[in-house]
Amino acid sequence: MAVIPAAIVLVGSALNAGVAAADDPPADARRGARIAYTCFGCHGIPDYRNAYPNYHVPRLGGQHAGYLAAALGEYRSGARPHPTMRGQAASLSETDFKDIAAYFATAMPVASGSAAVGTPPAAAAVCTACHGKDGVGLTGDYPTLAGQYADYLEQALKAYRKGTRQNAIMAGFAATLKDEDIAALAHYFAAQQPPLWVPLAPKAP
Nearer to ligand HEC, 7 or 38 (CB): 38
Encode burial over 49-75: b for 16+ CB neighbours within 10 A, e otherwise.
Answer: ebeeeebbbbbbbbbbbbbbbbbbbbb
Residue 100 interacting with ligand HEC (CB under 6 A): yes
88: closest CA among 35, 146, 161? 35
22 scored as a contact of ligand HEC (CB under 6 A): no
Residue 84: count of CB within 10 angstroms of its CB: 12
- Check residue 123 for interaction with ligand HEC (CB under 6 A): yes
Q: Measured between alpha carbons, how far apart are the two ends of the chain, in Å? A: 44
User: In this chain, which of 77, 84, 139, 164 binds ligand HEC, going by CB under 6 A?
Assistant: 84
Positive/negative CA dihedral, 177, 182, 186, 189: negative
Q: How far is the CB of 4 from ligand HEC (least distance, A)?
A: 39
| 198 contributes a contact to ligand HEC by CB under 6 A | no
Cβ-based nearer residue to ligand HEC, 24 or 183: 183
Chain-centre distance of CA 65, in angstroms? Answer: 7
Among 29, 36, 146, 190, binds ligand HEC (CB under 6 A): 36
| CA atoms in the 13 A half-sphere facing the CB of 6 | 3
- Out of 13, 16, 38, 139, point to the residue binding ligand HEC (CB under 6 A): 38
Binding of ligand HEC at residue 131 (CB under 6 A)?
yes
d(CA 91, CA 102): 18
Site residues (vs ligand HEC, CB under 6 A): 36, 38-39, 41-43, 50, 57-58, 60, 68, 70-72, 74, 80, 82, 84-85, 88, 100, 123, 126-127, 129-131, 141-143, 145, 153, 156-157, 167, 169-170, 173, 185
